[in-house]
Amino acid sequence: MRIDVLTIFPDYFRGPFDVSLLGRARRGGPLDLHVHDLRAYTSDRHRTVDDLPYGGGAGMVMKPEPFFEAVETLFGSVPARPRTVLFTPRGRRLDQRLVADLAGEPLLLLCGRYEGIDERVHAGLATDELSVGDYVLAGGEAAACILVEAVTRLLPGALGNIDSAAEESFTEGLLEYPQYTRPATYRGMAVPDVLLSGDHGAVARWRRERALEHTRRTRPDLFAAWRARSDLDDGS
């Protein structure tokens, strides 16, 4: 999977993209990742990427020209361009279903800063507008890291165990069940007996019950959505 990131701070990604899962996936793995400096596509000696907003207001707005120049230089005409993601508070909320939809496709991630990006970039370049949550970040770089890691985990060969991605939180709309490892007892806290029983059927039922319990208790919104989908699947 190829992912390109367009940013005014390419150094931001040197740590996150070079270690752990992403680092392994880039080194001979399933991820082909490229980071581009937006300032390289400016036309003035100051490498200007922002200007005052029309109509007045606080802060600066990122100019459209560098974004269009970068995308057209890197990818050419519209049919040849990858799916282009712009991070914005008004975008669709990123969730595991959307991550699964994006995984495997070529992606171009546009990282904004300041008060935002000129609306003509939204209209003329972005195929998808995404938000990683109802809070404000300094720029799109952190959101890009989140998306890159989330989609990479779903690529064949990225994880050591192929079952890891299938059994974790949000995969079917529920939170994951509790996990335990050695020792069996620590500071008076014991691993549930069922996990030590060797009865795989009982373990599966326990995990399912705990997943439902945790989701219902801590994320009632997820539980309600899961139950509504389950009712539809059952025809009820």
- Residue percentage of the chain with pLDDT more than 70: 94
pLDDT classification of 64: cutoffs 50, 70, 90 = very high
Provide the pairing of β-strand 61-62 with 189-190.
unpaired
For the whole model, what pTM was predicted? 0.87
- pLDDT tops 60 at residue 122: yes
Query: How many other C-beta atoms lie within 10 A of the C-beta of residue 4?
Result: 20
For every residue of 75-133, which 3-state class applies, written as one string? HCCHHHCCEEEEEEEEEEECCHHHHHHHCCCCEEEECCECCCECHHHHHHCCCEEEECC
Q: Average pLDDT for residues 208-229, to the nearest whole number?
A: 94
Helices (H) and strands (E) counted in the chain, each on its own, are 7, 9
User: What is the average pLDDT across 220-231?
Assistant: 92
Q: What is the pLDDT of residues 130-174, one digit of tens each?
A: 999 999 999 999 999 999 999 999 999 898 665 565 556 677 889
Contacts of 135 (CB under 8 A, 6+ apart): none
**Of the candidates 29, 138, 42, which has an alpha carbon nearest to the alpha carbon of residue 87?**
138
Residues contacting 182, CB < 8 A, separation 6+: none
pLDDT digits (tens, 9 = 90+) for 84-93: 999 999 999 9
Section 106-128 average pLDDT: 96
